[in-house]
Amino acid sequence: MTAIPDFPVGTNTTISGLGSSFVDELSGLSVPWQGAEAPEPELLALNEELAVSLGLDVPALRSADGVAVLAGSAVPVGAKPVAMAYAGHQFGGYSPLLGDGRALLLGELVDRDGRRADLHLKGSGPTPFSRGGDGFAVVGPMLREYLVSEAMHALGIPTTRSLSVVATGRPVYREGVEPGAVLARVASSHLRVGTFEFAARRGEIVRSLADHAIARHYPHLLDQPETGENNRYLGFFTAVLEAQAALVARWMLVGFVHGVMNTDNTTISGETIDYGPCAFVDAFDPGAVFSSIDHGGRYAFGNQPAVLKWNLARFAETLLTLVDSTPDAAITAVTEVLDGFDSRYEHHYRGGLAAKLGLSEDSLDQALADDLLTLLEEHGADWTAAFRALADELRGNPARLDGLLPPDRSASWLERWHAAGKNDGRAAGERADAMDRVNPLYIPRNHRVDAALKAATGGDLAPFAMLLEVVTHPFEERAEWTEYASPAPHSFAESFRTFCGT
């Protein structure tokens, strides 16, 4: 392990100036640790725009020292890398100790806007939390996380971001031998429901953890008292519920299936985390499951809001002693907040769906929304394409929509939609343009992602770079990108599966 002094000097921060508030403020929730050697590191992807926004120096990151830091095989002087401890409910069963089994929190940076961000490495080698795993990650899945997280960011959906992927030159054994890789991930924090589940069984540390999380993500709550009716911990639970309800509504509106919504993958910040087995639906299908291990469909597309509510109940349990010293009173208080979940989720989903349809929230009645979903589902219409086609229809060009839904079946719904739009006040063209600003043309289609990752694993990064360019400009129609807007061929969709922990 090399220690690199003064590396790399950025405009408003240096990596040698990495912060460590999590480690300094919270003892017992992490273990100091360092990454494995990378035999032959090679930078495969670097997010220059993100690096600059974090005040990092791009040429320095591209240098041999920089790549060594991004690979986890060198630490900047003064950094205190740790593996974070957490617990979690996985597929409903409780695991008291998970933790970063193949990841490290390198430290914290402050971005251009003064926001604190974690710099985290995934695939950096075994840690005390590795259990049976090897601690490594491979090129395909790390580029997958890079691509999909950056696509989500471009769609305006809160997410962890990807700074880089470095191929390590280490052979990693999966089904066959795969090239090893490390992803550098940036997140507003890596605090999860699972962090609280771990801390809640260890006494007073859960209070310090909650105060740390509040200061970091919901600082306005620091003004609220520690105890009593309007206490900050109940406010904290409410704020996380709100952020997560808004997040999962956004997933549902773009057809995103997370695939492994265990409580250790539910963040306190409200950012999407962990892109292992995720996928996007082509046709609207509440039962869609892609993960090879999700046999019961627990994390099916349409189950995501219900699973989130379940995860939030697990979160609430960790806060009970802080919310009220009388257990019954604490349970009553958090249950009341949790009971509000359905209407908070519905508010975000309905508001988002109304925007997708060029309507105000008031003019989208429940039946109009439900009937559209039924229509799309019945005809296996492509979810993403349908909303752009509806905007075209509104401009007087129904050709694209007619290709998705038989006109005789869509006619009566369209009539009701047009009638609802009449109350809107905006001209049809204006509404259509507003729809195009919220309805993406290009999402990371499963077959495209698959093909790009296969090529990259074989050494050809061109399809990955091209797809990244397209999905990070999701609303910008370009003639040469037409093929990226199409759903997967049937033959691909039939057998497509995703995998965890690869």
Catalytic residues: 264
Q: Can you say whether the dihedral through the CA atoms of 123, 299, 453, 55 is positive or negative?
A: negative
CB-nearer residue toward ligand AMP: 104 or 283: 104
CB-nearer residue toward ligand AMP: 197 or 382: 197
Element (H or E) spanning 392, and its range? helix 383-394
**In the complex, minimum distance from the CB of residue 190 to ligand AMP, in angstroms, rounded to a whole number:** 11
Q: Quote the longest CA-to-CA distance of the chain.
A: 70
Q: Which residue has the tokens 């008031």?
A: 362
CB-nearer residue toward ligand AMP: 28 or 133: 133
- Which among 88, 72, 302 has a CA at the least distance from the CA of 200? 88
Q: Which residues pair with 166 in a beta bridge?
A: 43, 182
Phi/psi of residue 180, nearest 5 degrees: -70, 155
What does 158 interact with, of Mg ion, ligand AMP, none (CB < 5 to 8 A by kind)? Answer: none
Q: Can you say whether the dihedral through the CA atoms of 147, 152, 153, 158 is positive or negative?
A: negative
**In the complex, minimum distance from the CB of residue 24 to ligand AMP, in angstroms, rounded to a whole number:** 23
Q: Looking only at residues 264 through 293 of this chain, which bind Mg ion when binding is defined by CB under 5 A?
A: 265, 274
**In the complex, minimum distance from the CB of residue 161 to Mg ion, in angstroms, rounded to a whole number:** 16
CB-nearer residue toward ligand AMP: 99 or 107: 99
Residue nearest to ligand AMP (CB): 133
Three-point CA angle 49, 248, 421, nearest 5°: 95
Amino acid at 469: E
What does 100 interact with, of Mg ion, ligand AMP, none (CB < 5 to 8 A by kind)? Answer: ligand AMP
Q: How far is CA 413 from CA 51, 420, 481, in A?
A: 47, 11, 30
Residue nearest to Mg ion (CB): 274
CB-nearer residue toward ligand AMP: 103 or 154: 103
Amino acid at 353: L
CB-nearer residue toward ligand AMP: 101 or 235: 101
Distance CA 327, CA 333 (A): 10
Which residues are at the interface with ligand AMP (CB under 6 A)? 98-103, 129-130, 133-136, 260, 264-265, 274, 276, 500-501
**In the complex, minimum distance from the CB of residue 311 to Mg ion, in angstroms, rounded to a whole number:** 13
Distance CA 23, CA 348 (A): 35
Element (H or E) spanning 455, and its range? helix 446-457
CB-nearer residue toward ligand AMP: 47 or 498: 498
- Spatial neighbors of 402 by CB under 8 A, at least 6 apart, are none
**In the complex, minimum distance from the CB of residue 274 to Mg ion, in angstroms, rounded to a whole number:** 4
Q: Which residue has the tokens 């009341």?
A: 336
**In the complex, minimum distance from the CB of residue 129 to ligand AMP, in angstroms, rounded to a whole number:** 6
How many residues at the interface with Mg ion, by CB under 5 A? Answer: 2
Distance CA 257, CA 422 (A): 34
Distance CA 251, CA 448 (A): 19
CB-nearer residue toward ligand AMP: 150 or 264: 264
What does 133 interact with, of Mg ion, ligand AMP, none (CB < 5 to 8 A by kind)? Answer: ligand AMP
Distance CA 307, CA 353 (A): 21
Q: How far is CA 273 from CA 153, 225, 260, 452, in A?
A: 12, 31, 10, 22
Distance CA 439, CA 435 (A): 6
Distance CA 426, CA 358 (A): 9
Residues in the chain: 502
Q: Six-digit token pair at 253?
A: 């509106």
- Which among 242, 235, 12 has a CA at the least distance from the CA of 117? 12
- Which among 370, 456, 487 has a CA at the least distance from the CA of 143? 456
CB-nearer residue toward ligand AMP: 128 or 403: 128
What does 101 interact with, of ligand AMP, Mg ion, none (CB < 5 to 8 A by kind)? Answer: ligand AMP
What does 444 interact with, of ligand AMP, Mg ion, none (CB < 5 to 8 A by kind)? Answer: none
Q: Which residues contact Mg ion by CB under 5 A?
A: 265, 274
